[in-house]
Amino acid sequence: MTIRFLSPALRRSLFRTSALTTGALVCLTGTAACAEPTPPVRQPAYTSSLLDRPGTQVRPGSAAPPLPGVSALSWVVADARTGEVLAARDAHRRLPPASTLKSLFALAALPRLHPDTRHTVTDAELARVGGGSSLVGVSAGRSYRVSDLWRGVFLSSGNDAVHVLTAMNGGMDRTVRQMRAKARALGARDTHVVSPDGYDAAGQVSSAYDLAVFGRAGLADPQFARYCSTTVASFPAGGWSYPIQNTNRLLTGAGGVARYPGLIGVKNGYTSRAGNTLIAAAHRGARTLVVTVMNPQNGGYAVYEEARRLLDWGFAAAGRVRPVGSLVPAKPRTAPDRARHAAAAAPAFAPSTESDDDSAWPALVLVGAGAAVLLAGCVVIVRRRAATVTRRSGAGGEFVE
């Protein structure tokens, strides 16, 4: 086909149509050349450039204060609003979490149990409470509101209250599955749940990173935030009640530990295997920090003092250090993204690299047929427009085949 003459408008139309046809042919052919599917890209379980490295990680600016001395095996300082990790030590080291694991239990079970629901406790529900566990004083045969039991969990770290709530939530196995699923959804891949109460159990582990993720998620839940920041409450005991106090000493200032200004709370824990563990969140000005400390080697109340020093450092260092990672999980790349990147990386019209595999040929035949149909359509469109212009103006292009 030879084009003798076209008006400027028709020439532009033809050029645009031809460009679209050529682009479609190139893209389709490039895709066919990569007909063999590319393997999915494995994404990290967490967003990090430094957190997966051992040792202490911090990226200070010129005016950043020095990190304090901390004996804990693992710790994290993070911004609760943005999720940016300001500094950390062995953030993904898997260690026994003790009762800080109750924070994950609350994240999984709080939305499923209405706070005003009443429940009469049975002996069977208390039978699995481990010896030496911390207790709030739940008694079989007595009726409790769900909100009373949650206060027993957060303030007294009561394993008896945990097991009653677990039974109300559908039982141990179901609750453990829910906790594992919640951890995965939050990007907390270091945690393996065996028992909701955090009691020492073979294989039950978490990390300073995961505990910080749980603390940050909890602060976003109004019920969780209210329970974890309560210092004193009344716990029912039949016709009377008795006071219970939060065991987080940074929140209450008990036992000779000075209360930390602006502390919101979250959860502390201790077992013989885990040592002392702590999730602590505090608010100052427009910033909220979450700090996690696992197994300080100095013993005693070192977990609180080391958390205090890390909080002080975090508030002073905010804006003066660059993040070393994030508590926000990495989003997996979608299949269309992978296909687009593969097509962009492949050279147009490249032959198949698999000489013994002719699976690309059907795709190439379809590409050729599709391109031919598309080109024929373009000719029809241009002819119709040319005829229209000729009828309206008495001039225009003449096609000679």
Angstrom distances, CA of residue 137 to CA of 237, 242, 244? 8, 10, 10
How far apart CA 348 and CA 369 sit, in angstroms, is 18
Q: Please tell me which residue in 48, 74, 103, 157 is annotated as part of the active site.
A: 157
Residue 293 · residue 308 · CB < 8 Å: no
Residue 86 · residue 315 · CB < 8 Å: no
Q: Specify the amino acid at residue 353.
A: T
Catalytic status, residue 229: no
For the chain, the farthest-separated pair of C-alpha atoms sits apart, in whole angstroms, at 104
How far apart CA 92 and CA 121 sit, in angstroms, is 38
Other CB atoms within 10 A of residue 263 CB: 22
Catalytic status, residue 393: no
Q: Please tell me which residue in 48, 74, 99, 103 is annotated as part of the active site.
A: 99
Local structure of residue 239 (DSSP, 8 states):
T
Catalytic status, residue 102: yes
Q: Could you tell me which residues are beta bridge partners of residue 370?
A: none
Q: Please tell me which residue in 102, 195, 207, 267 is annotated as part of the active site.
A: 102
Tokens of 259: 């209360």
How far apart CA 296 and CA 279 sit, in angstroms, is 13
Give the catalytic positions in this structure: 99, 102, 157
